[in-house]
Amino acid sequence: MSSAAESTRQPVGQAVAFGLLAALGATVLVSSFGYGILRDGDRVGPGLLPMVVGLLLLLLSGWQLLTRLRGGARGPVAAAPVGPGTDVLGRTQAHRIHQLRMVVVALPITILLVGFLGFLPAFGIFVLFICAVVERRRPVHALLVTAIAVAAVYGIFGVFLDVPLPAGVVGDLFGS
């Protein structure tokens, strides 16, 4: 296949991926209001985190989508290439696109797992997948990052903000 055809396909694929992520962000943002942003006494409600995450995903993905549609820069990593066709981490454009696709596929699967396993286990699996499979980190490093991320989310939202995290079917079976 010619490199001209590949270079035309890559921005289109990126635009589609960022468009899907922006749509997902908008969906999460809108649905978060159904959970309640604030509780009585101006306490944080269970919809605040999805609202913030949905808004950030919508804004960041929308910005990247507009950049791709205008044919602009590929981002700060691509601005400082190390070798021909690689970024500062040594990843090619095709590898970065492959990583993005894996994350785009993993996110809705994670959302489906929340209803079954609960938020914390599903989030942990998602972070572990990103570290071990997408970023190809060593197992010990991936497990450490996952444990810290899950503990931080639980500490911030489950303990400090006292936001009830979804337990899922499995959590309901065990009385969580």
Q: What is the pLDDT along the chain (176 residues), one digit of tens a residue?
A: 445 445 556 677 788 888 888 898 889 888 888 888 777 777 777 888 888 888 889 899 989 888 888 875 554 444 445 566 776 667 788 888 888 899 999 999 999 999 889 899 999 999 999 999 998 899 999 999 999 999 999 998 888 877 788 888 887 777 65
Could you tell me the CA-to-CA distances from 132 to 38, 90, 119, 135, 143 in Å, in that order? Answer: 36, 18, 20, 6, 8
Residue length of the chain:
176
CB-based burial label for 72 (10 Å; 0-12, 13-18, 19+): exposed
pTM of the shown model? 0.56
DSSP code at position 164: P
Give me the pLDDT at residue 78, please.
43
Give me the pLDDT at residue 176, please.
55
